[in-house]
Chains A and B, each alone.
Chain A
């Protein structure tokens, strides 16, 4: 087995080394190891960076640096008038990767699309559980599993998705990573050889880069796919050097061992900005950190109490202390980079005197409450404990006594969604796709009560708007509905919206054309490097 692996690697090396005389190499020091290279079972951005965004394509893609959608492996698509069918017209002449372990005999076609989705949908498929414990988390949680009735092969290059319900949000899931298109021919080959598990360790896609080798927890190597349908990439070799510690990543960047790094320490950012060899890009993260009140628990069942408490929170102090400048005060429950963001919303002013007065007017005095602080660091909240302490001090200034509670992360997630949860909980969300529904419905809709809706808030006027938006296919109309919904949100204040993080990507000046992705994906398609 080891000998076979060595032979395969040696052959892969031949591919890698061939023509390497003038090879342009980009080194990305990634923050962690991918869970695997099959794009569909995983949910971590680290895995998506290493698999779906390098090796695969999707029918619909996000434009680089944007949440706007553009054609991918589908040149065009249309939705039926009743919203129950989506027909994709597939791009022709798209090649799958040729690797030491697979040589395609045909181009991409409808069979690959059908296989890519049915393996996640059809429980009777041998691929549904092709590895022990494999699960299709995003396919399930985005509602795709219940939305697809059947997928019809109209012809070699036309596929029709027949849905169980008219749902405008389903189209927004097609650019997501789990919807990456895989090779049915390769799957059949592995099936015949009895080695299905290699689907996850030896990937084959249509993407800009071909997988070459993975040294566990150390290095992932890719090579630019010469026959990529959108043209060969400017860089020849892409290397992910896995560097877990952010301080060490920064040192490697400065030393020139990395060309580009993610997630630097906030404290190191100013120093990197001052370094003449580095360029530091920044953008609002597609996330939201919030404090959710339990709207079923008195006195937080009164909107006036919630609004009053919101006025007691000094968000700027939190951004300075917790985010160390890498955060932006949140007004809406959506990040500003979302097309559904209502930029007319007015935030609760920081006004402790008004907060105290409004609490008294609401009949609240001597209030004791709990604030739950996450035990882990998340993109939307780098230090929940510290944030809770600041909120504790802010609330004390208006006569509210806060007890900070915390627990193990899994327990925190489970217990914070309980209907009778005692206290307000710090949590957050990073968008899965560009659709506002992914925030506004998932986190604040009635269906989410008892799970993702930590405020346990079910408000009919709001619910009516987001449900109507789900079945409205015109984006401008949907925007109006979401704008109204956000106004209601501010009035009812089930949350105190705290902050969106600012995502920082430092890189060497030689890196060209890198675009920060609003969804936090690190993509290297189109990236170049000057000598």
Chain B
């Protein structure tokens, strides 16, 4: 197991180097001069343009800019945002907890409901329950997130008044941000109603963000369960007189979870894409919207730094998934 873990860890290094190159090149391949974009219709004189290009280092050859960038990174310096002039790392850390909190809630919801739905559909294969569950999953997978979010807001927030429209907490609750996680900070604040408000504000964005992963996990679980339920050892378990819950919960689910765990890991990356739209609609101050705006503004430092930090997070999740996979499936450790 240790050798397996080390081999996975070693893979991270070349992956990360590749990502720095992609992050560096990606934003530079896009057309558009960041100085001209900053100036907008007002334009900028050729002299001032040259001055700003030199200030940002864009007047140097590409390879030199990359080397300088790597040198900065090795010192823990992700550069400064062109638009706000603040350190990229500081901007990222100010926003990351919001995205992480929402993503965690979404993946937990998607996993719990998705696995349960998948098990139910597999066990009741061919029945109306199976059809309804998988049909709902298909609809969930196909819906545009933007439309789904606005629909929920109009129904539950504006018409019924059951949920707030947007934001992380009611504006009347104001307390220091200690961890950046509203659920934790609201509890720490001790303010009556703050935690409930934080939970209340999480309901709709979590549902929206969880919709697609939930559908994917449900379908994957169903598929994996059906495969396992057809195995000979399952027949053995049933013929031994074990209860259905033990047969499904202990023998079937444990084996079916192997591909499902991988799917959940991959869905974390998908969540990042969904987070951009969800954060926009629900005014959720996370990194998704921040990244999109930075690409539009050609804020090179933010795009590079943000991509790297997000990639690091995704790599960490997938490394965890790989290790979990090794734990769950001993055969993998010895490959």
Q: Across the interface, which residues of A come within 8 angstroms of B38, CB to CB?
A: 135, 137
- Interface locus among B258-266, B282-290, B305-313, B314-322: B282-290
B269 at the interface (CB under 8 A from A): no
Q: Chain B's nearest CB lies how many Å from the CB of A439?
A: 12
Interface centre among B45, B283, B285 (most CB of A within 10 A): B283
Q: Which residue of chain B has the shortest Cβ distance to A32 in the bound complex?
A: B293
Residues in A with CB closer than 8 Å to B34 are: 410
The reply to whether B31 and A410 form a contact with Cβ atoms under 8 Å apart is yes
A239–B171 touching, CB < 8 Å? yes
What's the tally of chain B residues with a CB closer than 8 Å to chain A? 55
A427 within 8 A of B: yes
Is A187 located at the chain interface by the 8 A CB criterion? no
The reply to whether A133 and B41 form a contact with Cβ atoms under 8 Å apart is no
A25-54 toward B: CB 8 Å interface, digit per residue (1/0)? 101000000011000010100000000000
Residue A471, interface by CB 8 Å: no
Q: Say which one of A102-110, A151-159, A251-259, A302-310 lies at the interface with B.
A: A251-259
Residue from the list A6, A252, A411 in contact with B165, Cβ < 8 A: A252
Query: Which residue in chain B gives the minimum CB-CB distance to A243?
Result: B283
Q: Does A87 contact B (CB under 8 A)?
A: no
Instruction: Point out the residues of chain A lying under 8 angstroms from B44, CB to CB.
Output: 137, 141
**Which B residues touch A251, using CB under 8 A?**
153-154, 157-158, 165
B150 adjacent to A247 (CB under 8 Å): yes
| Interface check B175, CB cutoff 8 A | yes
CB distance from A421 to the nearest CB of B (A): 14
Q: Which of B14-22, B76-84, B249-257 lies at the interface?
A: B76-84
Which B21-51 residues sit within 8 Å CB-CB of chain A? Answer: 30-34, 36-45, 48
- Cα distance, A413 to B174, chains bound together (Å): 43
**Cα-based distance from A428 to B42 in the complex (angstroms):** 10
Q: Indicate which residue in B31, B37, B40, B98 contacts A407 across the interface (CB closer than 8 Å).
A: B31
B279-304 to A contact mask, C-beta < 8 Å, 1/0: 01111011001100000001000000
Whether A133 contacts B56 by the Cβ 8 Å rule is yes
A255-B157, A427-B41 known; A132 vs B167 contact (CB < 8 Å): no
Residue from the list B31, B55, B178 in contact with A408, Cβ < 8 A: B31
User: Using an 8 Å CB-CB cutoff, how does the interface string of A1-43 with B read, 1 for contact, 0 for none?
Assistant: 0100111011001001000000001010000000110000101
A137 with B95: CB separation less than 8 A: no
For the complex, is A414 an interface residue (Cβ under 8 Å from B)? Answer: yes
- Nearest opposing residue in chain A for B83, CB measure: A35
Cβ of A213 within 8 Å of any chain B Cβ, yes or no, is: yes
Q: Looking at the complex, which one of A140, A218, A427 makes contact with B48 (CB distance below 8 Å)? A: A140
- B199 to chain A: which residues have CB within 8 Å? none
Q: How would residues 404 to 432 of chain A score, 1 for a CB under 8 Å from any chain B CB and 0 otherwise?
A: 00011111011001000000000111100
CB neighbours (8 Å) of B32 from chain A are 408-411
> What's the least CB distance linking A223 to chain B, in Å?
11
- Measured CA separation A239–B172 after assembly (Å): 10
Query: Are B80 and A131 interface neighbours, CB within 8 A?
Result: yes
Other-chain residue from A215, A242, A414, A428 in contact with B33 (beta carbon distance below 8 A): A414
Q: In the complex, which residues of chain A have a beta carbon less than 8 angstroms from the beta carbon of B168?
A: 218
B166 at the interface (CB under 8 A from A): yes
> Does chain B have a CB within 8 A of A217?
yes
**A396 CB within 8 Å of chain B:** no
- List chain A residues, Cβ under 8 A from B40: 43, 413
- Are A241 and B42 touching (Cβ within 8 A)? no
A244 CB within 8 Å of chain B: yes
Q: Indicate if B131 sits at the interface (CB-CB under 8 A).
A: no
Contact status A241-B171, CB under 8 Å: yes
For A247, what are the chain B residues with a Cβ–Cβ distance below 8 Å? 150
Query: What's the Cα separation between A239 and B285 when bound, in Å?
Result: 16
Chain B proximity of A42: nearest CB distance (Å): 9
Q: Which residues of B contact A (CB under 8 A)?
A: 30-34, 36-45, 48, 52, 55-56, 80, 82-86, 91, 94-95, 98, 150, 153-154, 157-158, 161, 164-168, 171, 174-178, 280-283, 285-286, 289-290, 298
19 CB contacts below 8 A, A to B, read A6-B176, A6-B178, A13-B175, A132-B55, A133-B85, A135-B38, A135-B48, A137-B42, A201-B86, A215-B285, A218-B283, A243-B283, A245-B281, A251-B153, A251-B165, A252-B165, A254-B158, A410-B298, A428-B41
* Chain A contacts to B: CB under 8 angstroms: 2, 5-7, 9-10, 13, 16, 25, 27, 35-36, 41, 43, 131-135, 137, 140-141, 197, 200-201, 213, 215-219, 221, 239, 241-245, 247-248, 251-252, 254-255, 257, 378, 407-411, 413-414, 417, 427-430, 451-452
In the complex, the 9 A-B pairs of residues with the closest C-beta atoms, listed nearest first: A217-B285, A410-B32, A131-B85, A6-B176, A218-B285, A9-B176, A132-B80, A410-B37, A408-B31
